[in-house]
Chains A and B, each alone.
Chain A
């Protein structure tokens, strides 16, 4: 019974809590990862054509960037509530809200990345007979990848944090545990869930950083080259 003392005294850190509620914690973490992952993935799929549109048709660039920026000013609590009439109390509601937030960062970074592709690289590829599609996939996209990945990392980290607000409709992953613990001032649960949230964000960021390194080996060669030249 000694181990349960920390639950009785409501300590911040409690081993017995971790042991007895591990299944609850795992379930919440899985829901958190699922909602975040789905939101970022859909955000990426939606933002890419928007970014291409903004780039190829300058007339659309203003409205596309403006609209995604306006979306960003809507508070998360309000965003979920505004979508309520369309989705009801479902996970789709939270995912849609988070997708709309991720668009601002993803579209901006993709457009900036594509615009930063050197004109010579584009000209050279065109001269070698690359069509528009091949130019995009084989030249522009790889060169824009660092900027795109930077945007993806920011979007992912803020989505992990924002997912907690989804607890307003009961689909907030670790946020649900935080909300459940509030009325009874259950310290161990609030702290554990909050710490897990931050760890999740850090882990996702490191994972994406690793993916970026794997996908853009040339940037490291270039870095080594400039370092050698000094």
Chain B
């Protein structure tokens, strides 16, 4: 197919990768925005979810928050920021929108993971005289780890994929390659941009799966 051949040609052209608007620069912006957003979302969501899971309260809140999050279009959130003075704050609006988007899956998965830890195991650990803190670090956290990582992975992939929308409000990232192609009716460039984002999302997923395997506290027993 002609478009695929021309897309390949676009990707193979060095000039498309170099410079301020080049693919490498856009890739850097994309990774920076997604990375900062993920780090902030984890810093906000994980402590709260793990604590709520430990004390066993607030589950309905976490689930409802996640469901409500799906109803809010990221594009609308970003657009709302762009008509406030925040628009001149560089990547701040994009990062806030992405954090709002990443918190619900992180929160729900971490909370559910903590709650699904076998109660009998928790009781046994308590019976052995473990304090709340020891129980949390040695029993609940390792057992909840797979669910926490699942949440982290889906949040990361969604954030990388969604960061493209920043381009629709004139911000940087790989989405800019797509919107620039749209504006000049350059279909191969649009497809090339889309491919780059999809590959990046799959790469992030693969890296996180590898990290998950390497650091899983249960890897010796499974």
A interface residues (Cβ-Cβ under 8 A, vs B): 70, 73-79, 81-82, 84-85, 154, 157-158, 160-165, 167-168, 175, 178-179, 181-182, 185-187, 190-191, 193-194, 197-198, 201-202, 205
Contact = CB atoms under 8 A, between A and B. Distances in A.
B39 interface: no
Main secondary structure on chain B at its contact with chain A? helix
B161 interface: yes
A89 B191 CA distance: 14
Contacts of A73: 157, 161, 198, 201-202, 205
Contacts, number: 134
Nearest to B66: A154
B162 interface: yes
Nearest to A79: B194
B15 interface: no
A75 B83 contact: no
B71 interface: yes
Contacts of B73: 160-165, 175, 194, 197-198
Nearest to A193: B76
Contacts of A178: 75-76, 79
A81 B71 contact: no
Interface string B45-82: 00000000000000000000001001111111101101
A165 B168 contact: yes
Q: Which has the most chain B C-beta neighbours within 10 Å: A76, A82, A165, A202?
A: A82
B100 interface: no
B67 A165 contact: no
Interface residues of B, number: 42
A164 B76 contact: yes
Contact of B3 (A70, A85, A162, A165): A85
Contacts of A85: 1, 3, 187, 191
A191 B81 CA distance: 10
B41 interface: no
Interface of B: 1, 3, 67, 70-77, 79-80, 82-83, 87, 157, 160-165, 167-169, 175, 178-179, 181-182, 187, 190-191, 193-195, 197-198, 201-202, 205
Contacts of A161: 70-74, 76
Nearest to A189: B83
A-B pairs, top 5 by smallest CB distance, nearest first, are A78-B194, A201-B71, A194-B76, A75-B161, A161-B73
B129 to A, nearest CB: 33
Contacts of B164: 75-78
A198 B71 contact: yes
Contact of A168 (B71, B163, B179, B202): B179
B198 A74 contact: yes
A82 B205 contact: no
22 contacts: A74-B198, A75-B197, A76-B161, A76-B162, A76-B164, A77-B165, A81-B193, A82-B198, A85-B3, A160-B73, A161-B71, A161-B72, A164-B75, A165-B165, A167-B75, A168-B168, A182-B169, A185-B82, A185-B87, A194-B79, A198-B71, A202-B71
Nearest to A85: B3
